[in-house]
Amino acid sequence: MIRFLVEVTSFFILVIVGFFKFKFPFNIVIGIILPILLAIIWGIFIAPNSPNRLTNNYRLILELFIFVIVFIVLRLGGYSNLAFIYLAISVINSLINYIS
């Protein structure tokens, strides 16, 4: 359940911070294009029922890469404390999912 909430929150963060904290054209790139691109990548390579699902190690690396992108967007948007909290929850959640 927490894993799904982290995934959904990641995309909402990109959309909201992208639109409200960046100026044109970066708000379009971060608020629309980046979430769509990451959702496609997530659906192709990470989703549980995907025929192209990566092995655990590569999937973990790709997930962490996506979470770091969201972390960077939060930091650049001026939400430093929230960015570190988000990153800690995301990384711990991913590691727990792959350990168990």
Print the domain residue range for 93. 2-99
Number of domains into which the chain is organized: 1
pTM: 0.90
What whole-number distance in Å separates Cα of residue 24 and Cα of residue 18? Answer: 10
- How much is the pLDDT for 97? 85
DSSP string, 54-77: PPHHHHHHHHHHHHHHHHHHHHHT
- How much is the pLDDT for 34? 95
Residues with pLDDT less than 50, the chain? none
Distance between alpha carbon 60 and the CA centroid of its chain, in Å? 12
Q: Can you read off the two tokens belonging to residue 44? A: 């192709």
- How much is the pLDDT for 90? 93
- How much is the pLDDT for 1? 75
- How much is the pLDDT for 62? 93
Task: Give 58-72 pLDDT, tens digit per residue.
Answer: 999 999 999 999 999
